[in-house]
Amino acid sequence: MHMNAQADTAAGPQTHEFQAETKQLLRLMAHSLYSNKEIFLRELISNASDAVDKLRFEAITHPEWLGTAVLSVDLVPDPDAGTLTLRDNGIGMSREEVIENLGTIAHSGTKKFLESLPETDRGAREQIGQFGVGFYSAFVVADEVEVVTRRAGTDTAVRWVSSGEGGYTLEDAARDAPGTDVILHLRSEEKEFLDATRLRHLVQRYSDHIGVPVRLCLRGNEPDTLNRAAAFWTRPKTELKDEDYQQFYTHLTHDHEAPLAWAHHRVEGTLEYTSLLYIPAVAPFDLWDRDQKHGVQLYVKRVFVMDRAAELLPNYLRFVRGLVDSADLPLNVSRELLQGNRAVEKIRAALVKRVLDLLDTLAKDKPDDYEKFWSLFGTVFKEGIVEDATNKERIAKLCRFTTSTHSDKPVTGLDDYVARMPAEQKGIYYLNADSVTTALASPHLEGYRAHHYEVLLLGDRIDEWFVMHLPEYAGKPLVSCESGAADLAPVVETAEQTRLEGDFKDVLERLPKTLLGRVSAARLSKRLTESPACLVSSDDGMSRHLERILRDAGQTQLGKVESVLELNGSHPLVKRLLDAKDAAFVDLAEVLYGQAVLAEGGQLEDSAGFVKHLNALILGTSTAAAPSILLPD
Ligand code: ADP
Ligand code: MG
């Protein structure tokens, strides 16, 4: 177990130590939150409101758990005792749950967050805002926190007490009804949080959108509801301001950066539901975690039923946050039931459309924000080309690329590209590489540059699949610069080409024998202007980059894929092949092949061999007759 229980007498409190991570979080909290200390109230109200939501949900199967009292979150300031109590009649916690929830950081997201923390405190301070600070924020204003709680469906209560340093104590307690009291013993300098006006103001500022009534309970007065207490998304759009949407987003996601965009819709008819979808301005740290479910929250008739309902949106839209409140699903809906449910399928299709509409508008009206969206989520979004055949065109339109002529940022859409195409250009050209930088340096671009043709530089892994699933756009075929079939008009003049073909006939026949097993054919290139050589895939073969990805992924049964070596007949190094004899020819062939592999970001199978051949050429030791390549003729 993670805590050290020192067994006391049966009646007295038991002392427990906090888990190491909890201590770490508490320390961080004290240092980083002070300037924003009032958010403890939002955090504790949010927990209490979650507890009420959970009770409503569990009461579907245990109706007797709902008493006659209104479900609410009450704020009870006590100036004499110097305490502020947050009282809810929600689900409560059992002894085990208290240990689990308040003594350890069980919440897997929180744990991962802590693991991902940078070494320095400063980085942590910046990140902590992105992530819900939760219960422990209470210690920013209180030097002692007491929790008295009773789980619905049980008779016994438990008291948890801690000063937020080494650990906490636990003992049996009494509570009339299920629910939780969080009693904050405020530090002497924090007594402002006993003030009714201050509390009212804070609740309206941070917790107005909470669906549960948050009430101020002053001694001798009737409880006074401070917030609107209607589920935020049920309110008419006309009544809601940007700040309201932003505030609700913070409540929903614990993300303190304002979202880039949102869409709020109410649908009535054969299906009845409300959706509220947000595009975040920061990527969650678990975006790439395959085990982590992503998705929006699901409510059924205002009752919260599921977090991260991945079934409501396709995987490529997993960055979207928000919620759906459906009137057509049963309250006891399970994940299994969501799969293949007709209503869910219809909602899902509509949500996809909404997100795409939202992104269209963002791209059109706020290009800077769209750029931000793309840098955060572009690689995820591109998966849509593979995953969502129905919306392929729309997805393609929203994709952004780095190109050979606009290479500093991925801002070029396919529509921009097509609009810039010279009249005679036939296809949309692209080049796959391990990174945009490698692509930009590739010899394959040379001929396209000479023609002033723009080339999409694809550096993400998903891009190989992207182009496979998008054979054309706007009636133009997507063509790889690297494949032998690229239909580029020759850069070299025809007469010159014919003359070179004659000169190089023997060399071209000899090369595949010298480079046996790696090169199936050699030919003169019409595309190279500066580099001496490059490799292309044979016309029917798999792209060389894809082959490399598959091989890196451990696909060893691929077999040997041979490439075509293309030579630049005007390059001095290549011309040297014409006169090279035996050993010198081999050295030259190996060096030309090796640098073609390196130029596309590939790995040499025999790098020591390559170096030997290269040194022999430089030193002129291949044969007595071979001059050094470093000396001018
Ligand atoms: P989070 O709310 O993100 O899960 P917190 O640190 O705010 O993290 O709370 C930790 C856990 O403690 C909650 O998930 C919940 O299980 C439990 N908890 C906190 N406050 C209450 C409450 N008022 N009633 C019931 N459970 C609570
Ligand atoms: Mg919380």
The domains found in the chain, sorted by start residue, are 2-230 (3.30.565.10), 233-370 (3.30.230.80), 400-481 (3.40.50.11260), 493-633 (1.20.120.790)
Q: Which residue puts its alpha carbon closest to atom 8 of ligand 1?
A: 134
Examine the pLDDT at 393 and tell me if it is beyond 50: yes
Ligand 1 atom with the smallest distance to the CA of 134 is: 7
Please report the pLDDT score of residue 32 as a whole number.
64
Pocket test for ligand 1, best of 21, 50, 158 (most atoms within 8 A of CB): 50
Q: Which residue puts its alpha carbon closest to atom 1 of ligand 1?
A: 134
458 pLDDT tier (thresholds 50, 70, 90): very high
% the chain with pLDDT above 70: 88
Strands (E), 589-631: none
Give tens-digit pLDDT for 526-562: 888 899 999 987 766 667 777 777 777 777 666 666 7
34 pLDDT tier (thresholds 50, 70, 90): low
Ligand 1 atom with the smallest distance to the CA of 90 is: 24
Rounded to whole angstroms, the Cα distance separating 511 from 519 reads: 8
Ligand 1 atom with the smallest distance to the CA of 97 is: 16
b vs e for 210-238, b when ≥16 Cβ sit within 10 Å of the residue's Cβ? bbbbbbbeeeeeebeebbbbebbbeeeee
Pick the most confident of 112-126, 477-491, 492-506: 492-506
Please report the pLDDT score of residue 134 as a whole number.
78
Examine the pLDDT at 459 and tell me if it is beyond 80: yes
Q: Which residue puts its alpha carbon closest to atom 23 of ligand 1?
A: 48
Query: Helix/strand/coil (H, E, C) string of 35-51?
Result: HHCCHHHHHHHHHHHHH
Q: Which residue puts its alpha carbon closest to atom 21 of ligand 1?
A: 47
Give tens-digit pLDDT for 44-75: 998 999 899 999 989 988 999 988 889 999 99
Examine the pLDDT at 107 and tell me if it is beyond 60: no
Examine the pLDDT at 419 and tell me if it is beyond 90: yes
Please report the pLDDT score of residue 4 as a whole number.
46
Pocket test for ligand 1, best of 40, 47, 147 (most atoms within 8 A of CB): 47
Examine the pLDDT at 417 and tell me if it is beyond 60: yes
Range with the poorest average pLDDT among 198-202, 409-413, 480-484: 480-484
Examine the pLDDT at 626 and tell me if it is beyond 50: no
At residue 378, what is the residue type?
G
**Contacts of range 101-106, beta carbons closer than 8 Å, 24 or more positions apart:** 101/135, 102/135, 102/147, 102/160, 102/162, 102/168, 103/2, 103/3, 103/16, 103/18, 103/19, 103/22, 103/167, 103/168, 104/2, 104/3, 104/18, 104/19, 104/21, 104/22, 105/19, 105/21, 105/22, 105/25
* 303 alpha carbon – ligand 1 mean position (Å): 18
Give tens-digit pLDDT for 301-349: 888 888 889 999 999 999 999 999 999 998 778 888 888 899 999 999 9
Encoding tokens for residue 318? 């997993």
Encoding tokens for residue 317? 């839209």
Please report the pLDDT score of residue 35 as a whole number.
66
Pick the most confident of 176-190, 201-215, 226-240: 176-190
How many C-beta neighbours within 10 Å does residue 513 have? 10
Tell me the ligand closest to 101's alpha carbon.
Answer: 1
How many C-beta neighbours within 10 Å does residue 571 have? 18
Give tens-digit pLDDT for 561-571: 678 999 999 99
List, as ranges, residues with CB under 5 A of the ion ligand 2.
47, 134
Residue 627, SS3 per DSSP: coil
Q: Which residue puts its alpha carbon closest to atom 13 of ligand 1?
A: 101
Range with the poorest average pLDDT among 115-124, 243-252, 263-272, 431-440: 115-124
* CA dist list (Å): 163 to 76, 77, 284, 306: 20, 19, 31, 34
Q: Which residue puts its alpha carbon closest to atom 17 of ligand 1?
A: 101
Please report the pLDDT score of residue 231 as a whole number.
87
Rounded to whole angstroms, the Cα distance separating 511 from 315 reads: 48
Range with the poorest average pLDDT among 204-218, 288-302, 459-473: 288-302
Rounded to whole angstroms, the Cα distance separating 203 from 197 reads: 10
Range with the poorest average pLDDT among 82-86, 130-134, 433-437, 458-462: 130-134
Q: Which residue puts its alpha carbon closest to atom 27 of ligand 1?
A: 47
Please report the pLDDT score of residue 493 as a whole number.
73
pTM: 0.75
Query: Kindly report the CA angle at 337 between 332 and 341, in degrees rounded to 5?
Result: 120
* 175 alpha carbon – ligand 2 mean position (Å): 22
Tell me the ligand closest to 251's alpha carbon.
Answer: 2
Task: Summarize the confidence of residues 111-124 as an average pLDDT.
Answer: 55
At residue 534, what is the residue type?
C
Give the binding-site residues of ligand 1, using a 6 Å CB cut-off.
43, 47-48, 51, 88, 90-93, 101-102, 107, 132, 134-135, 180
Examine the pLDDT at 632 and tell me if it is beyond 50: no
Encoding tokens for residue 54? 């959970």
How many C-beta neighbours within 10 Å does residue 54 have? 15
Please report the pLDDT score of residue 83 as a whole number.
98
Rounded to whole angstroms, the Cα distance separating 133 from 114 reads: 12
* 133 alpha carbon – ligand 2 mean position (Å): 7
Pick the most confident of 23-27, 490-494, 611-615: 611-615
Rounded to whole angstroms, the Cα distance separating 217 from 474 reads: 65
Query: Closest Cα to residue 546, out of 461, 427, 419?
Result: 461
Strand order across the 303-309 sheet: 261-267, 273-279, 321-326, 296-300, 303-309
At residue 422, what is the residue type?
P
Please report the pLDDT score of residue 490 as a whole number.
65
Burial of 69 (0-12, 13-18, 19+ CB in 10 A): exposed
* 181 alpha carbon – ligand 1 mean position (Å): 12
% the chain with pLDDT above 90: 59
Task: Summarize the confidence of residues 601-628 as an average pLDDT.
Answer: 80
β-strands 476-480, 428-432 pairing: parallel
Q: Is the torsion defined by CA of 614, 618, 621, 627 positive or negative?
A: positive
Query: Closest Cα to residue 90, out of 133, 60, 61, 47?
Result: 47
Q: Which residue puts its alpha carbon closest to atom 7 of ligand 1?
A: 134
* 315 alpha carbon – ligand 1 mean position (Å): 28
Give tens-digit pLDDT for 345-387: 999 999 999 999 999 999 999 999 999 999 999 999 999 999 9
Residue 145, SS3 per DSSP: strand
How many C-beta neighbours within 10 Å does residue 83 have? 18
Examine the pLDDT at 610 and tell me if it is beyond 90: yes
Please, what is the average pLDDT of the chain?
A: 87
